[in-house]
Amino acid sequence: MQVSADDLLVLEGLSKRYPTGDRALRDVSLRLPAGQVTMLIGPSGAGKSTLIRCVNRLVEPTAGRVLLRGEDVARLPASGLRRARRRMGMIFQEYALVERLTVMENVLSGRLGYLDFWRSTLRRYPADDIAAAFALLERVGLGGFADKRADALSGGQRQRVGIARALIQSPEILLVDEPTASLDPKTSRQIMRLICELCAEKGLAAIVNIHDVALAKMFAQRIVGLRAGEIVFDGPPADLGPDILTRIYGEEDWTAARETDEDDADERPEDPLRLAEARA
Amino acid sequence: MSARAWSPPPLIANPWLRRGLALAAAAYLLAAVSSIEVNWERVREGLDRGAAFVASFARPDFVSRWGDIHEGIVESLSMTFAATAIGIALALPVGLGAARNLAPAPVYALCRGVIALSRTFQEIIVAILFVAMFGFGPLAGVATLAFATIGFIAKLLAEDIEDIDPAQVEAIRATGATWPQILVYGVAPQVMPRMVGLSVYRLDINFRESAVIGIVGAGGIGATLNTAFDRYEFDTAAAIILVIIAIVMGSEYLSSVVRRRLQ
């Protein structure tokens, strides 16, 4: 695969085999231009989480290259890896905030990669970082929440803190793992909208793992379908018809699911498979 | 319609094994009781001495040996605080190393070994050993209590760290944080309240232990108590025991208040 200058992230032959023998990723190749929001869909266990964790090496890939602006993250030594991680903001399914720290400390923890040990331990953050944190909290709708403890917030509010923590890293790409899986349908849409707006504002690329096909179609610029560790679809949301969904998820009555989507969009279950089950 | 009978399934399914075990237990109990030899003469003498001892509790003598008692209490308290502080400081790295989710295998094995060693021996045995090494006095006591504190705190800290939410640690790692930063931001907030609670609890235990190990020569109020018994000064001994009870109850109350506040 030829790496071109405007590719932000290029995955080449990425594979992951867990010690248990499970092959979570098989020879995955993908190129992401700067500023593009790509949604990754696929059944549970298809390797979506493994894929984004191989990008910042929270999971070590078994084989393949992860090129961030041409630099192979998979080969970097520890200090280089930490510098590369600063450029990749991550947002998690269950928010993964440090529960007993304040909202402000959680947001500022996004700057840890830029700070030495003592300054971060004593919470002596540079004034610029603190100003940026307040501005981001304001932007995600949490002005005035700075000194609340993270475990005092609701799910939607926690995910907003998670978004602010990822953005304060000044990343070039967001790695987003099931951001709405624990949220209600309305909050899910608000969070997805916020993530996509912020990506557009700051020119960020994003890989978003998502279970909810309808939500993916609503917000994605590009959809990649993963099944059993392999890419089985890569295209614009408009191409995502019943035959493609069958290729990704397996045999199911997709037309029935689609009609319901249009009827009561707000009460849609997260998983198209479960929806069809409920109707059967 | 007749009601269907139900009874819970027996703990041991095999009826022969079940009845056999019950029979064996009964036979053992019978044999054990019949082998006890009681010398009623000595029981009567002992009861007399016991009565004299209990009677002396009714008139504890705080005054005639107050100097010794005061000195012993101060020594015990300083032993307790010094040993707890030293023990916790040494237990922190051991506890970190003994957490399977943080430490590499060789470090884990080493730290678990230290914990096992510290927890194998009862304080009195350790105290006898340290008294033989450092001689009589509070130094041996401090060493004993610090040694016991390492095992206690490190084991519970390690288990607490093994139970933390890995997602929070993963999130901090994903920011590009270094390993020490991950400890401070991802691990410490999750274990800190329990850690403070355990430290206060250990302080409380160490005071009680300091009274016991004094009896084998490791200084503190235990040594004063032992001397009082050796001189048959039961009234002074009673006073010392009452002081110990008061301090233990006070510290237990304080530590329970602190721990409740931390929830």
| Inter-chain touch B175–A110, beta carbons under 8 Å | yes
| Inter-chain touch B174–A94, beta carbons under 8 Å | no
Q: Is B168 on the interface with A (CB under 8 A)?
A: yes
pLDDT in tens, B18-56: 999 999 999 999 999 988 888 888 888 888 888 877 887
Q: Residue B263: pLDDT band by 50, 70, 90 thresholds?
A: low
Choose among B167, B180, B192: nearest Cβ to A96: B167
Mean pLDDT, range B139-144, rounded to an integer? 93
How much of chain B, in percent, has pLDDT values that exceed 70?
99
Residue B104 has pLDDT above 60, yes or no: yes
Total residue length of chain A = 280
Which residues of A lie inside 8 Å of B (Cβ-Cβ)?
56, 58, 82-86, 88, 90, 92, 94, 96-101, 105, 109-115, 117, 120-121, 162, 165, 169, 175
Rounded CA separation A107/A151 (Å): 14
Report the chain B residue with the minimal C-alpha distance to residue A90: B174
| Inter-chain touch B175–A85, beta carbons under 8 Å | yes
* Contacts A–B by Cβ distance under 8 A: 82
In angstroms, the Cα distances linking A55 to A87, B153, B176 are 11, 38, 13
Rounded CA separation B123/B116 (Å): 14
Choose among B165, B181, B192: nearest Cβ to A112: B181
| Inter-chain touch A113–B177, beta carbons under 8 Å | yes
| Bridge-based pairing state of the strands A230-235 and A222-227 | antiparallel
Write b or e for each residue in A140-179: b if 16 or more Cβ atoms lie within 10 A of its Cβ, otherwise e: bebeebbeebbeebebbbbbbbbbbbbbbbebbbbbbbbb
Q: In chain A, what residues touch B104 (CB-CB under 8 Å)?
A: none
The pLDDT value given to residue A261: 47
In angstroms, the Cα distances linking A193 to A190, A215, B228 are 5, 10, 79
| Inter-chain touch A96–B168, beta carbons under 8 Å | yes
Choose among A90, A96, A112: nearest Cβ to B177: A112
Choose among A58, A111, A121: nearest Cβ to B173: A58
Report the chain A residue with the minimal C-alpha distance to residue B190: A100
Q: In chain B, what residues touch A84 (CB-CB under 8 Å)?
A: 176
Strand partners, A231: A226
Single-letter code of the amino acid located at A167: L
Q: Which residues neighbour A277 within 8 Å (Cβ) at sequence distance 6 or greater? A: none
| Inter-chain touch A165–B184, beta carbons under 8 Å | no
The separation between the first and the last C-alpha atoms of chain A, rounded to the nearest angstrom, is 45
Report the chain A residue with the minimal C-alpha distance to residue B181: A117
Rounded CA separation B43/A144 (Å): 75
Mean pLDDT for each 10-residue chunk of chain A (280 residues)? 72 92 91 93 90 94 93 93 95 93 95 94 94 95 93 93 96 94 91 94 94 90 93 91 88 66 44 44
* Cβ atoms within 10 Å of B110's Cβ, excluding its own: 14
Rounded CA separation B91/B145 (Å): 12
Mind telling me how many Å the CA of A159 is from chain B's nearest CA?
13
Contact A205, A239 (CB under 8 A): no
- Check residues A278 and B230 and name the one with the higher pLDDT: B230
Q: Rounded to two decimals, what is the model's pTM?
A: 0.80
Mind telling me how many Å the CA of B187 is from chain A's nearest CA?
9
ipTM reported for the complex, 2 dp = 0.86
Mean pLDDT, range B211-223, rounded to an integer? 86
Mind telling me how many Å the CA of B101 is from chain A's nearest CA?
14
* Cβ atoms within 10 Å of B127's Cβ, excluding its own: 29
Q: Which of A77, A113, A258, A35 is nearest to B179 (CA)?
A: A113
The pLDDT value given to residue B217: 84
Contact A32, A69 (CB under 8 A): no
Rounded CA separation A169/A198 (Å): 14
Q: In chain A, what residues touch B189 (CB-CB under 8 Å)?
A: 98-101
| Inter-chain touch A56–B174, beta carbons under 8 Å | yes
- Check residues B52 and B92 and name the one with the higher pLDDT: B92
Residue B134 has pLDDT above 60, yes or no: yes
pLDDT in tens, A89-138: 999 999 999 999 999 999 999 999 999 999 999 999 999 999 999 999 99
Q: Residue B1: pLDDT band by 50, 70, 90 thresholds?
A: low
The pLDDT value given to residue B28: 95
Mean pLDDT, range B160-167, rounded to an integer? 94
The pLDDT value given to residue A117: 94
For an interface test with A, give the residue of B175, B194, B195 to mutate (most A CBs within 10 A): B175
